Amino acid sequence: MASETSQAGVSLWRRISESLLEDIRTGVLKNGEQLPADVAIAQRFGVNRHTVRRAVGHLQSEGILRVEHGRGTFVVSDVLEYRLGETTRFTANLLQNHRAPNRSVVELKDLPAPAAVAQSLDMESGDACVLLTVLGQADGVPISLGHNYFPAARLPKLHEAFRQQSVDRPQEISITQALRSVGIDTYRRRQTRLAARLPTLEEARLLRMARTQPIIETESVDVGGERNVPVTYARTCFRADRLQFVVSD
């Protein structure tokens, strides 16, 4: 049997987990289907059963497989349906899927607005903006990483609202509640763009995924207030293996 590290320096268990994930993505292994026995997988890849168990354990920790003692290992069958529309909300989407949502702060800071951010928020390039980076999870499994930009002059107390939330409810950061606290009672999605790409090293680390797995990135602008001015520009990457988008009117 091969050792746990391949000649290319990549752990064999990780290569096996990526191959199994590809089988799931392409339908070779279908939702709810039972995996072959460890010995059969070991023979397929020319490794020992310990290496197979490590690969399976990794996919189990990612919420992709579930182990039923006495029965076997099965592909998790419930992929999230994430609805995109005028009132797209992370928490509401997860609750509709009967999942426990949480969002935690990765970064909160003030910075000069990059050109693309300034254009989307109807600001001058270099004007002050607030950047809130949040990690979204469903039942403890990371599914999204969002970089959210807000116009600091237009929403002067927003940074403090997010800072207070991170102290009071560090796993329940709510953009809707923060905007409401500074006078934006309602806001709506003006536009959303979608693109597929591979994650960066940092994105893969935070989302607990391989860099060979694709992500779907959304780029969006939300408007609110009496004059429907831009209040949020966001770039959010989602794990493509954990959800599918549904576009609603």
Q: What is the pLDDT of residues 1-60, one digit of tens each?
A: 555 555 444 589 999 999 998 888 788 888 778 999 999 999 999 999 999 999 999 888
Rounded average pLDDT over 176-189: 95
Domain end, chosen from 47, 75, 103, is at 75
Q: Categorize the per-residue pLDDT at 197 as very low, low, confident or very high, splitting at 50, 70 and 90.
A: very high
% of the chain surpassing 90 pLDDT: 61
CA dist., res. 194 & res. 205, Å (int)? 22
CA dist., res. 74 & res. 29, Å (int)? 9
- Residue 221 pairs in a beta bridge with 191, 233
Q: Categorize the per-residue pLDDT at 122 as very low, low, confident or very high, splitting at 50, 70 and 90.
A: very high
Rounded average pLDDT over 56-84: 81
pLDDT for 8 equals 43
User: Could you give the number of structural domains in the chain?
Assistant: 2
Of 130, 203, 126, nearest to 163 (Cα)?
A: 130
Rounded average pLDDT over 125-151: 95
User: Which CATH number does the domain housing residue 99 bear?
Assistant: 3.40.1410.10
248 pLDDT exceeds 90?
Answer: no
Do residues 128 and 188 share a domain?
Answer: yes
pLDDT for 249 equals 62
Do residues 209 and 86 share a domain?
Answer: yes
143 pLDDT exceeds 80?
Answer: yes
Weakest mean pLDDT among 2-6, 46-50, 63-67, 129-133: 2-6
Strands (E), the chain: 65-68, 72-75, 80-84, 101-112, 128-138, 141-151, 187-197, 215-224, 229-239, 243-247
pLDDT for 62 equals 74
Domain membership flag for residue 5: no
Domain membership flag for residue 1: no
104 pLDDT exceeds 80?
Answer: yes
pLDDT for 7 equals 43
Q: 30 vs 112, which has greater pLDDT?
A: 112
pLDDT for 9 equals 41
169 pLDDT exceeds 60?
Answer: yes
Do residues 28 and 118 share a domain?
Answer: no
Domain end, chosen from 32, 59, 75, is at 75
pLDDT for 97 equals 79
Q: From residue 20, how far is each of 56, 74, 165, 227 by CA, in Å?
A: 9, 12, 40, 51
pLDDT for 77 equals 59
Do residues 101 and 49 share a domain?
Answer: no
* Length reported for the chain: 249
Do residues 130 and 180 share a domain?
Answer: yes
Q: 248 vs 46, which has greater pLDDT?
A: 46
Do residues 173 and 102 share a domain?
Answer: yes
Do residues 111 and 168 share a domain?
Answer: yes
Do residues 146 and 216 share a domain?
Answer: yes
Which structural domain range is residue 31 located in?
12-75
